[in-house]
Structure 1
Amino acid sequence: MVANAWTDVWVLRVPTVILQQYDEKSKAETIAPPDLARLPVPPELGGSSLFYVFCRTFHKGTLELPAFPSVAFKLRQAMHEEIDFVKATKIVQMDPALATKLIQVANSPLYLTANRVKTCQSAITRLGLVATRNLIFSMGMKGLFNAGSPHIIKLMQDMWKRSLQLSVISSVLAAKTGQVDPDKALLGGLIVRIGAIPFLSFAENFRSEYHGSAELEGALPIIQGPVGQYMLAKWGFADEYIELPLIAEQWSYSSGTDRLDLADVVRLAAWHSYVGTPKMGDLPPITELPAYAKLKDATLTPEQSLQVLYDAKEQIAETMKVFGQ
């Protein structure tokens, strides 16, 4: 392209990374909260003040959402530019407890290796910057599942435990199939139920005489998907993560492609996470899942997939212990 100027001009060159950051910020600012009251509501929630007040508050955009974990945010912002392991280490070490836990994770059974790392920088070097960023966010998420009242904290802790279990199973299955990055699957499994956090926090500040346990547990499956999707979009996550809270447990969902993707792995992990629980009776046969049909090399038959998790149960338990500390 050629441009002719009649006078002297200044040419300002804006780096692509700045334009990308502005574009992400603009998108986040224009996202509108969905109207949850339009969703199908079971009869037991028909007269729920908590449910409808929450839906109205959320739709108006006045609901207080959790803040993105600070160190993870700083690391993500820095990675918009080209940073090295030294700079990444300085950012992570802003939170000594998080840096210590990163070393523990790098030495955990999730990253099977004979050589243990002893410093934060060596852990980041082993894991790589992208995996480090995902892990830092994952570890920082535990602080979001927090509350003051005994009843709500119990629900929060249960939600965190289930999210962590789904996360680790997703990583194990991703490693077995070899088609999805296990670190992406680890993060993907962890954010599926993130939409429960604003609702439970809202319920904690709502007068307790207006709701009970059954009401909370009945509302969560309806609310956590769309709220989680909205939160992840506001936080600037990639599309493949944003859709997970909505479709992770839609067993018949198909992306329309033959290749196994992140959502498929997380969905298979979600199916396996219910094995041995009361909800197992509501599960369709695994062979009916479109995600299962993509395992063309039969690496995970129904029997083999359960055997994979059985063989990895110690790995899963130890990794959950490290993340759950």
Structure 2
Amino acid sequence: MSADNALLTLLMEKLRNNLLVLPTLPEIAVRVRQAADDPDINLHSMAEVIALDPALAARMLKVANSAFLGRSIKVNTLNQAVTRIGLFQVKNIATAMALEQLFVSQHPQVLEQMSELWRETIETTCIAMACLKFYQQSHKHVPLNLDTLTLAALVYQIGALPILTEAEKYPAVFAEPTYLRHAIRDLSASIGVVILQSWGFADIFIKVTQDWAGLQTSDEVCYTDFVRLAAIARQQFPRRSNEPQLLEQYLAQGLIPKVNFMQDPQIAQNYQDAKTMFM
């Protein structure tokens, strides 16, 4: 049996028998999400929860002052940052900012793969955000939120983490990048669904993880469409031959202004602005 088939067989067997070790949501993200679900929470109390993790606090200040939010007056305190971001949005944004803590490994080759996966995920997220912001300019009442899309895009390939962790246990056999790419392509969606369910994420996030690599579209624009657009832009969409058809549909729906949408000045600027949230 080839090494990549052996890896796939091992992962599928562990997944079927509930033996695959799943990543746990960072503790600070759990605290923020629990606090956000408290009907009596206020902005000051939320800021106090975020302050428990200095790294997250710094990230939230960066988000609040990012060019993507389009504010010229700088905020200097967590209370101001939470107020600017908004109590409703903080739950998703704080969770998104904490996810980087999961992309770690003691094995150099696996760490390299995790770092690359995180960089690719950030790029995909920024493109998706840029396209949604463009779409919102001409569709003011669309029921899609940038904070929800940000988190959805950051977890769309979260199922790759257990695959890379499994590879860490067998570095001599499984740390070869080609094997890992095959496993991630074939299994990350199924594993990702299990992870998001274990974290208690809403169905809207699970749907993106399940559907982004497929071809199903509808007249009702959804978060999956923007993640799929970003994957196409990054040449990460697995069905390359179907890209022209998808792009034509998204063009007709107004998600993008032209087929080579990353060359549009507004989307390109939105993309650069989105990157300021993560850099």
Q: Shorter-chain TM-score: what band?
A: 0.7 to 0.9
Q: Distance in 1 between matches of 2:79 and 2:183?
A: 43
Maintained 8 Å contact 1:249/1:267 = yes
Answer yes or no: is 1:269 the counterpart of 2:269. Answer: no
The residue that corresponds to 2:179 in the other structure is 215
Which of 123, 148, 159 is residue 165 of structure 1 equivalent to? 123
Letter in 1 for 2:121: S
- Could you tell me how far 1:269 is from its partner in structure 2? 2.0
- Could you tell me how far 1:53 is from its partner in structure 2? 1.8
- Could you tell me how far 1:235 is from its partner in structure 2? 0.9
**How do residues 137-216 of structure 1 correspond to structure 2 at under 5 angstroms?**
137-178=95-136, 179=142, 180-206=144-170, 208-209=172-173, 212-216=176-180
The residue that corresponds to 1:62 in the other structure is 19
Q: Distance in 1 between matches of 2:160 and 2:29?
A: 20
Identity of aligned residues (%): 23
Structure-2 change in CA distance of 1:50 and 1:99 (3 Å): same
Query: The residue matched to 1:253 in structure 2 has which SS?
Result: coil
- Could you tell me how far 1:211 is from its partner in structure 2? 6.1
Structure-2 change in CA distance of 1:313 and 1:235 (3 Å): closer
The one-character-per-residue Cα deviations of 1:22-67 (angstroms, maximum 9, x if unpaired) are xxxxxxxxxxxxxxxxxxxxx966x733221222122211222111
- Could you tell me how far 1:126 is from its partner in structure 2? 0.7
Maintained 8 Å contact 1:229/1:244 = no
The residue that corresponds to 2:216 in the other structure is 253
Which of 301, 305, 310 is residue 258 of structure 2 equivalent to? 301
Answer yes or no: is 1:51 the counterpart of 2:12. Answer: no
Gaps (5+ residues) in structure 2?
A: 137-141
Q: Distance in 2 between matches of 1:213 and 1:127?
A: 39
| Higher helix proportion | 2
Structure-2 change in CA distance of 1:44 and 1:288 (3 Å): farther
Structure-2 change in CA distance of 1:299 and 1:53 (3 Å): closer
Gaps (5+ residues) in structure 1?
A: 1-42
Q: Distance in 1 between matches of 2:175 and 2:81?
A: 46
Q: Distance in 1 between matches of 2:59 and 2:247?
A: 36
Structure-2 change in CA distance of 1:291 and 1:268 (3 Å): farther
Which of 44, 60, 81 is residue 123 of structure 1 equivalent to? 81
- Could you tell me how far 1:262 is from its partner in structure 2? 1.3
Q: Distance in 2 between matches of 1:302 and 1:207?
A: 41
The residue that corresponds to 2:67 in the other structure is 109
Q: Distance in 2 between matches of 1:153 and 1:44?
A: 24
Q: Distance in 1 between matches of 2:82 and 2:241?
A: 39
Answer yes or no: is 1:318 the counterpart of 2:276. Answer: yes
Q: Distance in 1 between matches of 2:174 and 2:221?
A: 45
Which of 51, 54, 58 is residue 93 of structure 1 equivalent to? 51
Q: Which runs of 4+ in 1 moved over 4 A?
A: none
Structure-2 change in CA distance of 1:146 and 1:176 (3 Å): same
Answer yes or no: is 1:238 the counterpart of 2:202. Answer: yes
Alpha-carbon RMSD across the aligned residues, in angstroms, is 2.5
Higher relative contact order (CA closer than 8 Å, sequence separation 6+): 2
Letter in 2 for 1:202: E
**Count, aligned residues:** 271
The one-character-per-residue Cα deviations of 1:219-242 (angstroms, maximum 9, x if unpaired) are 110111110111111111111111
TM-score, structure 2 as length reference = 0.88
Structure-2 change in CA distance of 1:286 and 1:88 (3 Å): farther
Which of 23, 26, 30 is residue 73 of structure 1 equivalent to? 30
Structure-2 change in CA distance of 1:291 and 1:181 (3 Å): farther
